[in-house]
Structure 1
Amino acid sequence: MKELFLIIGGVYGTLAVIFGAFGAHALKKKLSEDQQKSFETGVRYQMYHALILIISAIAFPFREVSQQLTAWCFVIGVLLFSFSIYGLILSDAAGKKLRFLGPVTPLGGLILIIGWILFTINIAEIANYLNPAQ
């Protein structure tokens, strides 16, 4: 399980760099300023969550369901949040906005929030286990 989340985190991080460069260079003349900002938001959140996914894979033994759920929230949340933003922006720039993706973005954001809450609970439990109160 650890290896899977490390690999997904690495892939998400790599893609964030690629998408960031693509957005800054190849799409610069094709996107409005607002579209560019939205695209950058998708890239930024993808990178943040690539990093927290890697941190989770290092910190958690994944023996608890809540630890597995934390990582899956980050994986699924990025797919729904960042990739729906990419789809919305690119389809809008092509003149065929995929409006059905609109509600997907906040759903992805909600799943990311749940992931952060679970991460906080799980990391606090690990910290308490490693450093019990004297």
Structure 2
Amino acid sequence: MQTFIVLGSILMAIAVAVGAFGAHMLKSKLEPDKLKVYEVGVQYHLIHALGLVGVGLLVGQYPEEGLIELAGWFMLAGIVLFSGSLYVLSMKRVRLLGPITPLGGLSFIVGWVLVALGVL
């Protein structure tokens, strides 16, 4: 599905920009442990943006394409919830976001399981 290829590509560009911002602008401003949190957010953002491109290439190729499409939406939710919460948590002291991060991780897991089921 073209939607996931476009979303994944845009999110890859954003992830590269966010990563460069962290490396150049935040390195001297954040404590090392906070910078590590930020970097983990970037890492998962990049991986799952590529996952979205992959989902876009798989949709329509397999009989259970509905599961693969659903996987893409879970990956998108994971990027927003997991990476987004880590970005904010690394720069702000917002404790409310702490419980959101695992929901993003769960979204990533569900997304990848759905890809596997959709391909089987």
User: Where does residue 131 of structure 1 map in the other structure?
Assistant: none
Counterparts of 1:103-122 in structure 2, within 5 Å, are: 103-122=99-118
State the Cα distance separating 1:122 from its structure 2 match. 1.6
Q: C-alpha distance in 2, partners of 1:39/1:73?
A: 21
Letter in 2 for 1:106: P
Share of identical aligned residues, percent? 41
The structure that has the greater radius of gyration is 1
What is the aligned-residue RMSD (CA, Å)?
A: 1.3
Q: Does 1:5 align with 2:4?
A: yes
Q: Does 1:18 align with 2:14?
A: no
Letter in 2 for 1:102: G
Q: C-alpha distance in 2, partners of 1:40/1:119?
A: 26
Name structure 2 gaps, 5 residues minimum.
none
Q: C-alpha distance in 2, partners of 1:10/1:120?
A: 22
User: Where does residue 34 of structure 1 map in the other structure?
Assistant: 33
- Give the TM-score, by structure 2 length: 0.93
- Give the TM-score, by structure 1 length: 0.83
State the Cα distance separating 1:65 from its structure 2 match. 2.5
